[in-house]
Amino acid sequence: MSGDQVPRLRLSVLGVVAVALFVALFARLYDLQIVGSPEFQVQAEANRVRTVQVPAPRGRILDRNGTVLVDNRIAVVIAINRNEFNDLAEEDRNMLVVRLVGELNRVGKTITADQISRRVNDERFSRYAPVPVASDVPEQLKIYLEEHAAEFPSVTVERTAVRTYPYRELAANVIGYVGKINETELAAVASVEDKPYTLNDDIGKTGVEKTYEQYLRGTPGVRQIEVDAQGDAVRVISETLPRPGSDVELTIDIDVQALAQRRLEQGLEAARARPPRNGNPANRGTRGAVVVEDPNNGQVIAMASYPNYDPTPFVDGIDAAEWAYLNDPANNYPLNNWAIQGQWAPGSTFKLFTGYAALMSGLIAPDTVFYDSGGYQIPGCTGIKCFRSNSGGAAYGSLRIPEALTVSSDAFFYNVGAQFWLQRDHLGGDAGMQQYIQGWGIGEESTIPLRGEASGRLPTPAWRRDFCEKTDCNDPEWRAGDNVNLAVGQGDLVLTPLQLANGYATFANGGTRYQPKIATRIVPPEGDPIVVGPKVVTRVDLPAWVRDPLMEGLLGVPRSGTAASAFSGFDLDAWAIAGKTGTAQVDNKADTAVFASFGPAPAPKYAIAVFMEESGFGGSNAAPVSRALYEALSGVVPLEPAPLGGLANVPEGELQTVGGAYD
């Protein structure tokens, strides 16, 4: 190869390389500008635009008549613009926080500088929305901060919708309360896409507020904000307005609720004031509950619980001292709904179900006569606990089941319990009596749509053995005495007030057990309402030859039986009440007073259960509470409107209690 060909070859190779590089460059430019343009435009837009949620008002909660029980009101919120705050010098930031803490504490909003700093620096809050540090502050502080804006740079004053409970403690245990979402709750709702949650959102914590959270929560608005290269907001590009949540209409009648709660509290107070009898422990009247249910559909008309609480302080974040009070065992846990979480022995109110089991099994017939001499000796048993006396030692002579229910003969039902055990080979085995009782919902959750419901307990020999395998118990064997205790609603048996009310409602309507309901409709801002109809759980076989003698006995209780004193003067011919008193004994405590009933017979509209812990006899203490309710429900006395502001705004009255009733 000649000398002049070598440079020419090198130039050719260099040219090829140059062309190849330019081709690659042009191909990459084509890919970036033409092929990948849409994707990179999206990425650029994402870097330029930020999306911020705008909170939506929650739906209202109303009673069955349209009375608003929970609403929203506008409150003043103090917040800090994080970007402006971080642009301040450190010394200025510290001085600002100290000044703000002083002003908030001056108006009763307890907060520390450290709490504000942690909140502002919490990355879970959006950079593009002010970080709230105090809500529901007085109007005068809003005015002060606006007039002294130069002293509070980056501090904003906004208005937002917050929950308001105009009836305060009335139905609070049913309604529940809302609070700021915590990390566990936030993780649990992370998959909710149509109504996404962010930190600082309110969420239902208990009661209806929690059960119907998905409906009550509104749909947040969306605000798109343009930001610059430093990430600071430049302008609002677009905004979708928030949509309020759906209203929830309850089965509760707030006027009946107010009466039930007031009479329950007065009854417990009267019990505490009554001196103990015959050396029994003092009546402490610690807790109680009242349930009023419609037997024709399972709707709960009233559900009173004592002690109770006011949900209002939870709106702005309850302080530590009040939270400690509400959770102190010495205060009997006001946050609990004792109508569904209280578990008590029902005493003689349980005799309705014992009588049903005795008749349906063939153990006795409606005309079977038992002679009550004042007590009962358990067959084959020796010892001082083998003879069981009637309450007060009363002897009632010859009784059929209607009379046994009316006078509440313990001896009659002791015999039923004992015979179920002694004749178990012919009556369904070890749990023959319990098999007939289970259908009434005893010992199982009613599935009312409220969280935290207790299941109660219908004890059986199998339960006893299992229990003793897990704990140290004295005797794992079930004996005739256990059946005797169960037959009169004692022993290891416990149930909730709602279970008892629902059982009596089932008997009242002829054997259809409904799921207790707490809501009737869900009404969205747009579109058709969602109707919450009745739901049948099961049907109890209740033929007339069984129902009629049991009904006869229950109708006799307020006329001539253990509740006669409580219903003296009530026109039972015009508005017949059927019911049963109960007095459940508790070791080292005063008795639990119980009364379960329904009316008016023969077409009942209401079933009522009353439990009053450590309050004495059911006929003397619980029955008068029910009478007060029936007087208003029947129209004998006017049903007063529930007071706005709760029972604190009602003058104290007196509940007439009676003496002389043993059960």
Angle between helices 90-106 and 139-147 (to 10 degrees): 150
Please tell me the predicted confidence (pLDDT) of residue 34: 61
CA 145 – CA 96 distance, rounded (Å) = 12
Please tell me the predicted confidence (pLDDT) of residue 651: 58
Please tell me the predicted confidence (pLDDT) of residue 506: 98
Residue 421 — φ and ψ, nearest 5°?
-80, -45
The answer on pLDDT for 352 being more than 50 is yes
Q: pLDDT tens-digit profile of 530-564? A: 999 999 999 999 999 999 999 999 999 999 999 99
Provide the percentage of residues in the chain whose pLDDT is more than 90: 61
The answer on pLDDT for 124 being more than 50 is yes
Q: pLDDT tens-digit profile of 616-650? A: 999 999 999 999 999 999 999 999 999 998 887 76
CA 454 – CA 426 distance, rounded (Å) = 33
Please tell me the predicted confidence (pLDDT) of residue 435: 96
Confidence of residue 653 (pLDDT cuts 50, 70, 90): low
Angle between helices 497-508 and 351-361 (to 10 degrees): 50
Burial class (CB within 10 angstroms; exposed 0-12, middle 13-18, buried 19+) of 421: buried
- What's the whole-number mean pLDDT along residues 407-428? 96
Q: pLDDT tens-digit profile of 328-343? A: 999 999 999 999 999 9
Confidence of residue 45 (pLDDT cuts 50, 70, 90): very low
CA 277 – CA 612 distance, rounded (Å) = 17
- What's the whole-number mean pLDDT along residues 604-614? 98
Highest mean pLDDT among 136-145, 190-199, 388-397, 651-660: 388-397
Please tell me the predicted confidence (pLDDT) of residue 46: 46
The answer on pLDDT for 115 being more than 80 is yes
Please, what is the Cα angle at 600 between 599 and 606, to 5 degrees? 40
CA 296 – CA 294 distance, rounded (Å) = 5
* Region of 146 on the Ramachandran plot (φ > 0 left; ψ -120 to 50 alpha; else beta): alpha
H and E: helices and strands count for the chain: 22, 23
Residues 6 or more apart whose Cβ sits within 8 Å of residue 643: 167, 258, 649, 650
In one letter, which amino acid is 476? P
Query: Token pair 């508790």 is at which residue?
Result: 586
- Assess contact for 477 and 467: CB atoms under 8 A: no
Return the structure tokens found at 453. 């419901």
Please tell me the predicted confidence (pLDDT) of residue 336: 96
Please tell me the predicted confidence (pLDDT) of residue 161: 82
- What's the whole-number mean pLDDT along residues 206-212? 97
Q: How many CB atoms lie within 10 A of CB 153?
A: 15
The answer on pLDDT for 346 being more than 90 is yes
Query: Is the previous residue joined to 602 through a cis bond, with omega within 30 degrees of 0?
Result: yes
Helix (H) or strand (E) holding 272: helix 254-273
Query: Token pair 């009478």 is at which residue?
Result: 627
Q: How many CA atoms lie within 13 A of 223 on its CB side?
A: 16
Query: Is the previous residue joined to 307 through a cis bond, with omega within 30 degrees of 0?
Result: yes
Which position has the higher pLDDT, 144 or 489?
489
Q: pLDDT tens-digit profile of 212-255? A: 999 999 988 776 667 666 555 566 676 778 899 999 999 999 99
Please tell me the predicted confidence (pLDDT) of residue 279: 74
Residues 6 or more apart whose Cβ sits within 8 Å of residue 306: 261, 264, 265, 268, 287, 288, 289, 338
Return the structure tokens found at 277. 């009898």
- Assess contact for 134 and 109: CB atoms under 8 A: yes
Q: pLDDT tens-digit profile of 462-518? A: 999 999 988 888 789 999 999 999 999 999 999 999 999 999 999 999 999 999 999
Q: Domains in the chain and their CATH numbers?
A: 44-73+173-250 (3.90.1310.10), 78-128 (no CATH), 254-649 (3.40.710.10)
- What's the whole-number mean pLDDT along residues 419-436? 94
- Closest-CA residue to 262 (of 658, 660, 624, 635): 624
Burial class (CB within 10 angstroms; exposed 0-12, middle 13-18, buried 19+) of 11: exposed
Question: CA 405 → CA 328, 354, 579, 592, distances in Å?
Answer: 40, 10, 9, 19
The answer on pLDDT for 454 being more than 50 is yes
Please tell me the predicted confidence (pLDDT) of residue 315: 81
